[in-house]
Amino acid sequence: AGLLGTGQLTGQTFDRIMDAPQSQIPLYKKDKLRYLKESARLQPPVTSVTHTVAEDKKVSMGNGLEPVAVAKGTTVQVIIATANSDPAVFGGKYRSKKYAETFDPSRENLDKIVSWNGVEMSVQSREGPRWCLGHDLSLDVATKILDYILPTEEEAAAAAAAA
């Protein structure tokens, strides 16, 4: 834990904050974990996960496609980047594709992001087929690095005024 995925998460989140530091630094400080999770939702630091199916099942392909039969023992690779912009889950009250693709750390269903090898609520509770042992460490390391390298709100305001 803490190598590639955490570095990606930290770098992507830093870039997002520094694109508009005057508005994003206070938003980050308001709830650092939700900010990081929303960042991971839109730009997953790990874009796919593998899983071995434990029993025969039909798997939903989304987007109105017919479910696919998958046999027990089959190893599947799940592209999680697209799952995190599903309007049915992240599109808000109106299931809006535009809102699902918008950065909003206060959104509902943030516990349903797919990252850290599974659905966030399953990873947090240590349930599910394969949760990441480094989940908490990853978030802690990213938070510590961002807290250390980000300018203060005053420094960001001064930089904006000088530009």
The pLDDT value given to residue 98: 97
Task: Identify which of 29-38, 63-72, 148-157 has the greatest average pLDDT.
Answer: 29-38
d(CA 20, CA 151): 12
The pLDDT value given to residue 148: 97
CA 83 vs CA 28, 32, 40, 118, 140: distances in Å: 24, 23, 12, 11, 24
For 103-121, how does the pLDDT look when each residue is reduced to its tens digit (9 = 90+)? 999 999 999 988 877 777 7
For 15-66, how does the pLDDT look when each residue is reduced to its tens digit (9 = 90+)? 999 999 999 999 999 999 999 999 999 998 888 877 788 899 998 776 678 8
SS (H, E, C) the chain: CCCHHHHHHHHHHHHHHHHCHHHHHHHHHHCHHHHHHHHHHHCCCCCEEEEECCCCEEECCCCCCCCEEECCCCEEEEEHHHHCCCHHHHCHHHCCHHHHCCCCCCCCCHHHCEECCEEHHHHHCCCCCCCCCCHHHHHHHHHHHHHHHCCCHHHHHHHHHHC
The pLDDT value given to residue 101: 95
Nearest-10 crossing angle of helices 4-19, 32-42: 100
For 118-135, how does the pLDDT look when each residue is reduced to its tens digit (9 = 90+)? 777 766 665 555 567 788
- The model's confidence at residue 3, banded by pLDDT at 50, 70 and 90, is low
Residues 6+ apart with CB under 8 A from 130: 49, 51, 117, 118
The pLDDT value given to residue 140: 95
- Whether 128 and 141 have beta carbons less than 8 Å apart is answered as no
- Whether 3 and 138 have beta carbons less than 8 Å apart is answered as no
Residues 6+ apart with CB under 8 A from 40: 9, 113, 115, 116
pTM for the full predicted model: 0.84
